[in-house]
Amino acid sequence: MKGLLRKDLYLMIKYCRLFFILIIVFSFAGAWNNNLFFALYPITISSIIPVNLLSYDEKSNWSLYACTFPCSRKEIVSSKYILTVCTLTLSAIIVEVVQTINMIIRHNFHISGLLTIFTIIFITGLLPPAFMFPFTFKLGAEKGRFAYYIGFILLFALLGSLQSVIKNLPLGLAHFPFRSDYILILFFIGLLLYIISWILSIKFYQNREF
Question: Could you give the CA distance from residue 138 to residue 135 in angstroms, rounded to a whole number?
Answer: 5
pLDDT-based confidence at 118, cuts 50/70/90?
Answer: confident
DSSP-derived 3-state class of residue 173: coil
| Helix residue ranges, H only, the chain | 2-15, 17-32, 36-39, 41-47, 49-59, 62-66, 73-106, 111-139, 145-166, 180-207
Q: How many CA atoms lie less than 13 Å away from 199 in the CB half-sphere?
A: 6
Greatest extent of the chain over all pairs of C-alpha atoms, in Å: 58
User: For the segment 29-53, what is each residue's pLDDT rounded down to a tens digit?
Assistant: 766 666 666 667 777 778 778 878 8
**Residue with more model confidence, 105 or 199:** 199
Question: Could you give the CA distance from residue 81 to residue 201 in angstroms, rounded to a whole number?
Answer: 10
Displacement of CA 74 from its chain's centroid (Å) = 20
Mean pLDDT of 65-86: 86
Give the contacts of 51 (CB within 8 A, at least 6 positions apart). Answer: 128, 129, 132, 133, 136, 141, 148
pLDDT-based confidence at 210, cuts 50/70/90?
Answer: low
Provide the pLDDT for residue 174.
Answer: 38
Question: Is the pLDDT confidence value at 3 over 60?
Answer: yes
Question: Is the pLDDT confidence value at 170 over 50?
Answer: no
Torsions phi, psi for 168 (to 5 deg): -95, 5
Closest CA to 16 of 53, 57, 59, 60: 53
Contact 22, 45 (CB under 8 A): yes
**Residue with more model confidence, 27 or 92:** 92
User: For the segment 77-114, what is each residue's pLDDT rounded down to a tens digit?
Assistant: 999 999 999 888 888 888 888 878 777 777 767 777 67
Provide the pLDDT for residue 39.
Answer: 66
Question: Is the pLDDT confidence value at 115 over 80?
Answer: no
Contact 147, 132 (CB under 8 A): yes
Provide the pLDDT for residue 201.
Answer: 93
**Mean pLDDT, all residues of the chain:** 76
Q: What are the sequence ranges of the domains in the chain? A: 2-207
pTM above 0.75, yes or no: yes
Question: Could you give the CA distance from residue 14 to residue 18 in angstroms, rounded to a whole number?
Answer: 10
Give the contacts of 57 (CB within 8 A, at least 6 positions apart). Answer: 63, 66, 141
Provide the pLDDT for residue 196.
Answer: 95
**Residue with more model confidence, 173 or 95:** 95
Q: What is each CA distance from 51 to 77, 146, 182, in whole angstroms?
A: 11, 13, 30
